[in-house]
Amino acid sequence: MIRSVLGSVVALAGAAAAVLSPFRGWYDGRLGRHYRIADLFDGIGGTHPGLWGSMWLPLLFAAVVTVVGVVVRSRLLVALAGVVALGFTVLWTVRLGQATGSVAVAADGSGLQLGVAYAAGGGALMLLGAALLPGRRGGRLRRSDRNRPYAAPGAEDPDTWPPTQEPGPSVQTSPWPEPETDPYTGPDPYNGPPPARADQDTAPYPVQEEGRDPRHPPRS
């Protein structure tokens, strides 16, 4: 939050400095709004243009783009405005050096003046404000991180917790249904002798006496 406010203030201060710079002296007492935009491409002349055809127009455009970028929290727009302001100021300086043969600050005020510093400083402040702004997309991501759900695991790691995938299809390949398992887990009642009852002799067969054939009954 502090970074966002600081970046906005710095960017807006740079926009204000840039839009006010054409109303200050740029060189040898000549105001910035007295230079045509066409002078940047044809060479600096002595013609005084109207306000909308002077150096004030690109700097006003940079200031408006800065305000829009601060409102929507777009670092790209604010940085673009700073590049526009600095670019036109540097191009004007190059054309001035070609026309006068030297670009310097004279002690008597005949050289570069405060208006150029306003324009260049305003563009630099716009770039600094763009660097300080957190950006619209970054802010949204930070707010959404608080309630972000668990991400679904990839195909290479399906066994994760909490479970986020449905169980896969059965591996059964036969068209017939699988037989149900018998829930009874005790011994098979058809294998082995039946269990003895309390009213019967526990011996399933009569006891054979030693030396007697069980096929012939004893004589009385």
Q: How much is the pLDDT for 169? A: 53
Q: How much is the pLDDT for 39? A: 85
Q: How much is the pLDDT for 12? A: 95
The pTM assigned to this predicted structure is 0.59
What is the CB-side half-sphere exposure of residue 194 using CA atoms within 13 A? 6
- Contact assessment for residue 83 and residue 123, using Cβ atoms and an 8 Å cutoff: yes
What the block records as the tokens of 18 is 């840039």
Average pLDDT rounded to a whole number, residues 49-56? 87
- pLDDT over 90 at 157, yes or no: no
What the block records as the tokens of 46 is 């002595």
* Highest-scoring range by mean pLDDT, 51-60, 94-103, 188-197: 51-60
Average pLDDT rounded to a whole number, residues 137-145? 50
- Contact assessment for residue 77 and residue 68, using Cβ atoms and an 8 Å cutoff: yes
Residue 12: φ, ψ to 5° = -70, -35
Residue 69 binned pLDDT confidence (cut-offs 50, 70, 90): very high
- pLDDT over 50 at 168, yes or no: yes
CA-to-CA dists, residue 190 to 180, 183, 187, angstroms: 21, 17, 9
CA-to-CA dists, residue 169 to 32, 166, 172, angstroms: 77, 9, 9
CA angle 168, 170, 172 (to 5 degrees): 155
